[in-house]
Amino acid sequence: MKQIQFPKSFLWGAATSSHQIEGNMNNDWSEWEISEERKRYHETKGNDLTQFISGLACDSFSRPKEDLNCLKQLGVNAYRFSIEWSRIEPQQGKFDLAVLQQYRIFIQKLRAQGIEPFVTLWHWPVPLWVRDQGGWKSSKTAEYFDVFVAKVVESFGDVVKFWVTLNEPQVYTSNSFFVGIWPPQEKNLFTCIRVMKHLVHAHKLAYTTIKSANVDHQVGIASHNIHFSAKQPWIVNQLIAKISVYFWNDWFLNKIQKYQDFVGLNYYFYRSLDLRFGKPGKHRLTSDLGWELHPEGIKQVLLGLKKFRKPVYILEHGLADKEDQHRMWYIKESLIAVAEAIEHGVDVRGYFHWSLLDNFEWAEGFTARFGLFEVDFETCKRKPRASVAGYREIIKQNGWK
Ligand code: FCB
């Protein structure tokens, strides 16, 4: 395999989100998981209900030491995680100072271990009081979010430099308000567009708040960009690919162009397009979730981000692979593609693998195993998969020789 060396101060990390790992949540998602409608849905499918209720998840909120240990074993110099709005502000304007303090201590411990924290401020669930006032459908929510952000920045702005305001606005908005598979399960294009606009507004407000606390803060979003390519080089297919890039990959980033210090990329998908709209190819390798593994795609989406002329952090990239059969192959092949994008002038400064731990995957529940560390959900014990050693070696060598 070709030798690869990444730029000197490259950040190597792993990523998680609060709802997926912390456990004992009380937000719109956790209520949705146990709703009668959801129960009926799983019953008709013959699913084991317990697999689809986040419950204790990895119990990370009570086991920060164990997560720190995993990070240490990996040898990462960065960690992306989210803080939970519903824990910090369980009632409007009432902040839980003990929770804020607990996050602060965790961040200090990361720093003491030489790990740069990347804090995500919103990774999908909202507090119940926000949901009850209309959630992101309400124009007020951006302002509520800004109040929350101001409090967080006041509480640990001195120990955090990198802030990810929103995770994958396009995925959340389409699944929750257009496709209707996530709470609140609406199917209305106009609502979907309205929510997108509110999220744009929320990001801008949060950006301004964070930067006014300290101009050195680095703020961006995590955008879920897909590699769209034309199945056959016909004009109509190329046009479909271009439109998809414009709306799916670039729309949000264009809207916030003047309000971001870096572009955060989450890369999972590849779509080869024709008029049937992106049926995946048949002969490719897939993850346990049936997602096609197409490492070269990351180079193409990175090249697509060059026009924003900002540093890029790959904030998520990974696969569900319980047996750890393809993980190392996928990481390495993708990193080769990342290195090529860097050679072509994309200023990539970091890579975060999704995920540090097996965790609660939104609609797929506990069956999807994305972790570098395997989690036994009975005991919450973490155990390294073989890829931990492989990834650790890459980090140590800043590539491979
Ligand atoms: C991304 C989400 C993340 C995780 C991965 C598999 O879209 O941001 O929380 O679910 O997919």
From residue 136, alpha-carbon distances to 17, 131, 201, 223, 288 in Å are: 19, 8, 11, 18, 32
282 or 268: which leads in pLDDT:
268
Contact 272, 278 (CB under 8 A): yes
Q: Which of 3-7, 273-277, 309-313 has the lowest mean pLDDT?
A: 273-277
Provide the token pair at 249. 């990959």
Residues with CB under 6 A from ligand 1: 17, 20, 167-168, 171, 224, 266, 316, 354, 361-362, 370
Q: Helix, strand or coil for residue 219?
A: strand
Q: What is the pLDDT of residue 4?
A: 95
Q: What is the pLDDT of residue 368?
A: 98
Closest ligand 1 atom number to CA of residue 320: 6
| Residue 75, pLDDT above cutoff 70 | yes
Q: Which of 107, 123, 121 minimizes the C-alpha distance to 21?
A: 123
| 315 C-alpha to ligand 1 centroid (Å) | 10
Q: What is the pLDDT of residue 232?
A: 82
Protein residue with least CA distance to atom 9, ligand 1: 17
Q: How far apart are the first and last CA of the chain?
A: 9
Q: Which residues pair with 187 in a beta bridge?
A: none
Query: Would the pTM of this model clear 0.95, i.e. be above it?
Result: yes
- Residues in contact with 45: Cβ distance below 8 Å, sequence separation at least 6, in sequence order: none
pLDDT digits (tens, 9 = 90+) for 232-244: 888 888 998 999 9
pLDDT digits (tens, 9 = 90+) for 27-59: 999 999 999 999 999 999 999 999 999 999 999
How would residue 11 be classed by pLDDT, with cut points 50, 70 and 90?
very high
Q: Alpha helices, DSSP H only, in 35-96?
A: 36-45, 64-74, 85-88
Q: Domain extents for the chain?
A: 4-400
Closest ligand 1 atom number to CA of residue 20: 9
| Residue 278, pLDDT above cutoff 90 | no
Contact 5, 399 (CB under 8 A): yes
The stretch 92-112 carries a mean pLDDT of 98
Closest ligand 1 atom number to CA of residue 167: 8
Mutate-to-test residue for ligand 1 from 19, 21, 168, 319, highest number of ligand atoms within 8 A of CB: 168
What radius of gyration do the chain's Cα atoms show? 20
Q: Which of 295, 300, 299 minimizes the C-alpha distance to 284?
A: 295
How would residue 296 be classed by pLDDT, with cut points 50, 70 and 90?
very high
Q: What is the pLDDT of residue 233?
A: 82
Domain 4-400 maps to which CATH number in 3.30.70.20, 3.90.1300.10, 3.20.20.80, 3.40.50.300?
Answer: 3.20.20.80
Closest ligand 1 atom number to CA of residue 361: 10
| 164 C-alpha to ligand 1 centroid (Å) | 14
Angle at 370 between CA 122 and CA 1, to 5 degrees: 115
